[in-house]
Structure 1
Amino acid sequence: MPRTADHDQRRAQIADAVTDLIASGGLAAVTVARTADRAGISVGLVQHYFPAKDDMLLHAFERVGAAVAARVADVIAGGVRHERSIADVLAAALAEYLPLDGRRRAEFRVTRTFAGRALENPRLAEVDARTAATMRAEIARAVTNGFECGEVDPAADPALAAARLAAATEGLATALYRDPGERDRALAVLRAEIDAVFTGECRQYTG
């Protein structure tokens, strides 16, 4: 009997093939036959794991989300280790959502494709909304941590600040995808938005 690890590997293999196809040709490029060819497996095996196109798209979206989350976790761990301010760590973390290189451009196209498909599919829409809510909650937690160390004014509203920063990140990602030459400007705008919320210095590192 195949092991769970084998199933996970196959699903990841298919999801990566879907991501590659979307990155190069959009959702229209994703067919069972093309996915199978890109993954190097049979059409029947693709259909065994993912009976519908939306199932493949959902798993690709979840895999991209997991990859971004892992990188963000590394950014946070490195920030704590090097005693960086919460604002600096948040800037680096949110930059992982921007299409700053080939890998992140491919991820962005998958997430945008998923969001477009979610307009017509309630199941996908629920996942899309939950993912966005999770991102806002994580930003709000950073803002709350900023209260404790002195980087954020206690009068600030964490939920409002999180909504602002999440919207700015999403908008900048779209603009940067359209024009990769705007990289430096996008990062500068993101930093300006963060600095408008994190206006103080962290007492933890200033003694």
Structure 2
Amino acid sequence: MPRVADHDARQGQITDAVQRLIVRHGLTAVTVARTASEAGVSVGLVQHYFTAKDEMLLATFTRVNERFTARVDELVNRGEAEGRTIAEMLRQALAELIPLDDPRRGEFLVRLAFADQAAHNSRLAAVQSQTLAVIRSRVSRAIANGTVCGEVAEGADATGQALRIVAFAEGLALHTHIDDAGTPESAVFAALDDQLGRVFTGTCRRGQSG
């Protein structure tokens, strides 16, 4: 068990270094030597964990996506415990995609860099596609649950609405990145509320009965 934990910690140390390099200098600046220097380890150690640069990049991309998913899971669990509406929890989850602070800004820059790289790398494209599918699926499930609960009108197209909502959130993330000063947090949440309000038009029946 300690060996597995050490292995994960070392990989995390290296992929965190890759992320920092991407945020500061872009994807083209990432090399095994620079990553080793950034992580404070030897080139040999980096090569021990990642036999090729592509493996290192793939692990970094995957790790960023896993961190996003873990945060969303935590938000949902906390929201359910606090009795929040599905719309409120979805609003918080979507905000994790938007570069509103340094951690999310760093993750956004990584996703942006890999979006370009994925156009020419089938393995990265597969991770990108899978990640998008998972996000859409979770939003679709939230809408379907909203229908059962009463927050969403009967007959709503959960899949179609999920596509629109996720695309809107990603577009909002890009606008925030390009024009940070002109896209304050208050405007971001107002835009999300407006978009979600088009789908989540009702009140949860469980809330009414409580």
* TM-score between both structures, scaled by the size of structure 1: 0.96
For 2:134, the equivalent position in structure 1 comes to 134
Q: Which letter maps to 2:83?
A: E
* 1:3 match: secondary structure: helix
Matching residue of 2:87: 87
2:124 matches 1:124: yes
1:188 to 186, 190, 202: 190
Letter in 2 for 1:84: R
TM-score scaled by length of structure 2: 0.95
Unmatched tracts of structure 1, length 5 or more: none
Which residue in 2 is equivalent to 1:47?
47
How many residues are aligned here? Answer: 206
**Mapped contact 1:151–1:198 kept (Cα < 8 A):** yes
Q: Is the aligned partner of 1:205 residue 2:207?
A: yes
Query: Is the contact between residue 99 and residue 173 of structure 2 (CA under 8 Å) also seen in structure 1?
Result: yes
Match of 2:21 in 1: 21
CA distance, structure 1, for counterparts of residue 130 and residue 103 of structure 2: 23
Deviation at 1:123, TM superposition (A): 1.4
Deviations, residues 113-134 of structure 1 (Å, cap 9, x unaligned): 1111110011111111111001
Following the alignment from structure 1 to structure 2, what is the Cα–Cα distance between the partners of residues 115 and 204? Answer: 41
Can you list the C-alpha shifts for 1:66-121, whole angstroms capped at 9, x where unaligned? Answer: 11111111111111111111001100111011100001000001111111111001
Q: Measure how far apart 1:52 and its partner are.
A: 2.3
Q: Is the 8 A contact 2:94 2:169 kept in 1?
A: yes
- Please report how far the alpha carbon of residue 44 of structure 1 lies from its aligned counterpart in structure 2 after TM superposition: 1.3
Q: CA deviation at 1:28?
A: 1.8
The equivalent residue for 2:71 is: 71
AA of the residue aligned to 1:72: V
- Point out where structure 2 has 5 or more consecutive residues left out of the alignment: none
Q: 2:172 — aligned with what? A: 172
Query: Percent sequence identity over matched residues?
Result: 49
CA distance in structure 1 between the aligned counterparts of 2:136 and 2:111, rounded to whole angstroms: 16
- Contact 1:18/1:30 (<8 A) preserved: yes
The answer as to whether partners of 2:36 and 2:46 remain within 8 angstroms in 1 is yes
The whole-number CA distance in structure 2 between the counterparts of 1:54 and 1:134 is: 23
| CA RMSD across the alignment | 1.2
